[in-house]
């Protein structure tokens, strides 16, 4: 499938910005744009539209050119040349990596919380098992005591009534 490459006029239309503004941004922030040179003309990738909108919002928020450059430098990594360095540049957004890392950290925290919960449940289960063992021991002792008592009572009941009364 053929890649879609846009002129700055098309980028301006899609971004909803004036062509002059987009050209100014393209000149100021050239190193952050993905483009390819076709003959004498530069063509830009569709991702350039979003980048221009982002730059415009930073500009409207009152950031200076240096501040915008610094923000773009932090948000996007340097270009990696692919093939002929003059004709093609690839932008690797750090924001995507940052978002993925944030999601990974969040997932790791959830896993940690789940493990802590499981560990607490395991401790509770072990305590309940120990209590069950103690209750079984008590029950065995009570049953043994009851058997001894029943045995003594049966021995006494088998004796005649006058031996039971006067044996004391």
Q: What is the 3-state secondary structure (H, E, C) of the chain?
A: CCCCCECHHHHHHHHCCCHHHHHHHHHHCHHHCCEEEECCEEEECCHHHHHHHHHHHHHHCCCCHHHHHHHHHHHECCCEECCCCCCEEECCEHHHHHHHHHHHHHHHHHHHHHHHHHHHHHHHHHHHHHHHHHHHHHHHHHHHHHHHHHHHHHHHHHCCHHHHHHCC
Answer whether 11's CB lies under 8 Å from 56's CB: no
Query: Residue 60 has what pLDDT?
Result: 92
pLDDT in tens, 38-55: 888 889 988 889 899 999
Note the pTM of the prediction, 2 decimals: 0.47
- The reported pLDDT for the residue numbered 167 is 67
Cβ pair 111, 103 in contact under 8 A: no
Determine the pLDDT at residue 33. 86
Tell me the pLDDT of the chain (168 aa) as tens digits: 467 888 999 999 999 999 999 999 999 988 888 888 888 888 998 888 989 999 999 999 999 999 988 888 877 654 433 434 444 444 445 666 777 888 899 999 999 999 999 999 999 999 999 999 999 999 999 999 999 998 888 877 777 767 767 765
pLDDT at 125: 96
Model pLDDT, residue 91:
46
Q: Strand 41-44 relative to strand 80-81: parallel, antiparallel, unpaired?
A: unpaired
Question: Please, are residues 34 and 44 in contact by the beta-carbon 8 Å criterion?
Answer: yes
């Amino acid at each position: 499938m053929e890649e879609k490459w846009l002129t700055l006029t098309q980028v301006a239309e899609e971004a909803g910005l004036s062509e002059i503004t987009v050209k100014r941004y393209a000149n100021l922030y050239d190193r952050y744009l993905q483009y390819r040179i076709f003959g004498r003309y530069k063509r830009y990738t569709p991702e350039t539209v979003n980048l221009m909108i982002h730059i415009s919002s930073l500009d409207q928020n009152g950031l200076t050119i240096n501040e915008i450059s610094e923000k773009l430098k932090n948000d996007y990594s340097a270009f990696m040349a692919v093939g002929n360095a003059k004709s093609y540049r690839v932008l690797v957004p750090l924001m995507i990596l940052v978002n993925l890392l944030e999601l990974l950290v969040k997932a790791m925290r959830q896993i940690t919380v789940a493990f802590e919960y499981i560990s607490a449940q395991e401790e509770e289960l072990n305590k309940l098992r120990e209590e069950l063992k103690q209750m079984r021991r008590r029950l065995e002792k009570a049953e043994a005591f009851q058997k001894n008592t029943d045995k003594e009572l049966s021995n006494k009941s088998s004796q005649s009534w006058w031996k039971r009364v006067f044996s004391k």
